[in-house]
A and B are shown apart, each in its own frame.
Chain A
Amino acid sequence: MKRTSPDVLPAEGGHGDHPLLAVDNLHVEFRTRAGVVRAVNGVSYTVNPGETLAVLGESGSGKSVTAQAIMGILDMPPAVIPKGEIRFRGTDLLKLSEEARTQVRGQRIAMIFQDALSALNPVFTVGWQISEMFRVHRGMSKSDGMKKAVELMDRVRIPAARQRVNDYPHQFSGGMRQRIMIAMSIALDPEVLIADEPTTALDVTVQAQIMELLADLQRESQMGLILITHDLGVVADVADKIAVMYAGRIVENAPVHDIYRAPAHPYTKGLLESIPRVDLKGQDLYAIKGLPPNLLELPTGCAFHPRCPYRQDNCVTDSPPLYQISGWRGSACHYWREVLDGEQ
């Protein structure tokens, strides 16, 4: 890998014409003994300051792998990135040296994880772990770091932060642990925050609180937020735009309200129809037929065709491009017009 010094990274706020973070035609493969698993097949999306992008998809759709590629925390090998760019303020992160990427991680782009209990080190107090961010990256003393840790715990609304700063992760409830994880990730004021299913492990009332917290923090700091989730309910209130992923591709992207009003891809439509609804009580739940594809052997043509009610003959052979419908709206379906109109 070419060695590049960390200072090639543009300063905060510079290069106004570049999007904050742009993923461009990213491919990720896992070379395993069983064969090549194509986890991400040409994903592109952008996030701007203060914007929330929700990446939606079921397990194995490649949404988390994309995030890990952005963070540079994929285990390589077995993971390989054969194609694509991840541009942060115009600089391709994939071409940076490992040292430069370590500078980016945590300070410019940070990430929070699904299960905060396992994402926190069990043998250190939460205060130690939050203050570690300041000690390592800002060269603060232990006591200054602890003060900042208490401030941050206040900021993520942990009650009695001062008393709890010396507690261990397992002494906190699930929602509080996720707040601590969030506190750690925003400690260094990152410009992009990736939240990988931040509320999946939490119960519904706590989910809402965490989403509200993330939205508030984002408003205060104008960071770009990438929200990875499989939960359409979580997305509706906070996201500005949505990218729906299936089998490692973006099958539809759209501003959030368009997608709820009229989905342009049969997969999105299936997802929306499978949300349980109070007014349909007593009826069977709708489920998309079939199973998610085997990433070792992706179906020919459109990867969704074996499960698609709109399938025509050419879906089996021709892989649809991401048809641009309007502005920031696209659908990777040959028959997006029919889907949009609701004909079947």
Chain B
Amino acid sequence: MSDIRPGGPVFAPEEVETPPKEVSKSSKPASLWTDAWRDLRRRPIFIASCCIIAVLVVMAIWPSLFSSIDPFNARTCELATARQLPSAGHPFGRDNLGCDLYARTIYGAANSLVIGISTSVFAAIIGGLLGLIAGFFGGATDTVASRITEIFFAIPSILGALLIGSTFRGSGLGIWLVVISLTLLGWPMTFRIMRAAVITAKSQDFVIAARALGAGSARIMFRHLLPNALAPVIVVATINLGGFIAAEAALSYLGVGVQPPEISWGLMIADAQRRFLEAPLPLIFPAVFLSVTVLAFIMLGDAVRDALDPKLR
């Protein structure tokens, strides 16, 4: 499982020497990404977070590998056994409705990951594209885009998501409503970072040189600016991913996120909270899973940032 390689590594990881001047026979080229990958593989934090994320991904895709009980089947719940302590066959015990806590916790991973990853990807794409356009064209385009971003920035995110969530509650979008509202409130961060990175890259000689050799605007934006401005956006998207998962839990807790009968760690925390003093375990288990997941993505983002920033090396 340790050889799972999420995000970015472009080249095979063979250890290769790159003689700087001498003619090399078949050495792999050392790009920013290869260097970063080589650097990442030696970081314990990166390996640890990748392992956790790999387990979570498997858990989200094939939850039945981990639990033989199907929590969506109401017959697995027995009200009589509500808040039962861990016992054989029910390692985490049972929740307020007598459902198996372990199975529910396992099945909750899917929604957290889907919401976290898709929000992060959408926010990165929207914010990234707008940032690229604003940074490249500057002037009035930049001013308008930046002011719009500031308006979105000014909305307190929980409040904004509450508003969107409660307004479109009956829309039938399910978890995608959470994705949409978090994306709407999350893209300004990527916008700012992309815009700043593009403005830095724009004044570099190779962009001017590309223009002098006849490259048009689109080519300069996507071939010369984007690849050179991508690193900070990837870092922020990874770190934000953890934040979005936590935000999903918060929204579900507040009742505007994932709706029953869907399972989500935030929902489970909300349910368990009413009887917390009596039965703390139904709250503690999903909360621990949530924290570990968020932590894993933030650690991954940190490791990627350190690896992509040559100055920190």
- Residue positions of A touching B, CB distance < 8 A: 71, 73, 102-107, 110-111, 113, 115, 118-125, 132-133, 136-137, 159-160, 163-164, 166-168, 171-173, 181, 184-185, 188
- CB closest chain-B residue, reference A187: B213
Q: Is there contact, CB below 8 Å, between A171 and B30?
A: yes
Q: Is there contact, CB below 8 Å, between B213 and A167?
A: no
- CB closest chain-B residue, reference A106: B214
Tell me, in angstroms, the Cα distance from A117 to B160 when the chains sit together. 47
Tell me, in angstroms, the Cα distance from A118 to B204 when the chains sit together. 7
Q: A122-B32, A125-B29 are in contact. Are A171 and B20 (CB under 8 A)?
A: yes
Q: Is there contact, CB below 8 Å, between B25 and A73?
A: no
| B residues 110-133 touching A (CB-CB < 8 Å) | none
Partner of A181, one of B204, B209, B215, B216: B209
Q: Is there contact, CB below 8 Å, between A173 and B29?
A: no
**In the complex, the 5 A-B pairs of residues with the closest C-beta atoms, listed nearest first:** A106-B214, A118-B205, A106-B213, A119-B209, A105-B214
Tell me, in angstroms, the Cα distance from A159 to B214 when the chains sit together. 27
Tell me, in angstroms, the Cα distance from A102 to B218 when the chains sit together. 12
Give every chain A residue within 8 A of B208 (Cβ-Cβ): 73, 113, 119
- Residue positions of B touching A, CB distance < 8 A: 18, 20-21, 23-26, 29-32, 204-206, 208-216, 219, 223-224, 227-228
Tell me, in angstroms, the Cα distance from A105 to B213 when the chains sit together. 5
What's the nearest-Cβ distance from chain B to residue A113, in Å? 5
What's the nearest-Cβ distance from chain B to residue A171, in Å? 6
Residue among A123, A124, A188 having the largest count of chain B Cβ atoms under 10 Å: A123
Give every chain A residue within 8 A of B18 (Cβ-Cβ): 171
Q: Is there contact, CB below 8 Å, between A160 and B214?
A: no
Tell me, in angstroms, the Cα distance from A102 to B219 when the chains sit together. 12
- CB closest chain-B residue, reference A162: B23
Q: Is there contact, CB below 8 Å, between B29 and A168?
A: yes
Q: Is there contact, CB below 8 Å, between A163 and B29?
A: no
Q: Is there contact, CB below 8 Å, between A132 and B223?
A: yes
Q: Is there contact, CB below 8 Å, between B211 and A123?
A: no
What's the nearest-Cβ distance from chain B to residue A180, in Å? 11
Residue among B24, B26, B32, B210 having the largest count of chain A Cβ atoms under 10 Å: B210
Q: Is there contact, CB below 8 Å, between A163 and B212?
A: no
What's the nearest-Cβ distance from chain A to residue B234, in Å? 13
Partner of A124, one of B30, B214, B227: B227
Q: Is there contact, CB below 8 Å, between A73 and B205?
A: no
Partner of A120, one of B21, B209, B215, B227: B209
Give every chain A residue within 8 A of B29 (Cβ-Cβ): 125, 166-168, 171
- CB closest chain-A residue, reference B209: A119
Q: Is there contact, CB below 8 Å, between B206 and A119?
A: yes
Tell me, in angstroms, the Cα distance from A181 to B206 when the chains sit together. 10
- CB closest chain-B residue, reference A101: B214
Q: Is there contact, CB below 8 Å, between B32 and A71?
A: no
Partner of B30, one of A105, A168, A188: A168
Q: Is there contact, CB below 8 Å, between B31 and A102?
A: no
Give every chain A residue within 8 A of B25 (Cβ-Cβ): 163
Name 24 A/B residue pairs within 8 A (Cβ), A-sorted: A102-B214, A104-B214, A105-B212, A106-B213, A106-B214, A106-B215, A111-B212, A111-B213, A115-B205, A120-B209, A121-B210, A121-B227, A121-B228, A124-B227, A125-B29, A132-B223, A133-B213, A159-B23, A163-B24, A163-B25, A163-B26, A164-B23, A171-B29, A173-B20
What's the nearest-Cβ distance from chain A to residue B28, in Å? 9
Q: Is there contact, CB below 8 Å, between A160 and B213?
A: no
Give every chain B residue within 8 A of A110 (Cβ-Cβ): 212-214
What's the nearest-Cβ distance from chain A to residue B25, in Å? 7
Tell me, in angstroms, the Cα distance from A173 to B22 when the chains sit together. 10
Give every chain A residue within 8 A of B213 (Cβ-Cβ): 105-106, 110-111, 133, 184-185
- CB closest chain-A residue, reference B28: A166
What's the nearest-Cβ distance from chain B to residue A39, in Å? 16
Tell me, in angstroms, the Cα distance from A119 to B206 when the chains sit together. 4
Give every chain A residue within 8 A of B212 (Cβ-Cβ): 71, 73, 105-106, 110-111, 113
Tell me, in angstroms, the Cα distance from A16 to B204 when the chains sit together. 38
Tell me, in angstroms, the Cα distance from A118 to B210 when the chains sit together. 11
Q: Is there contact, CB below 8 Å, between A123 and B209?
A: no
Give every chain A residue within 8 A of B223 (Cβ-Cβ): 121, 124, 132
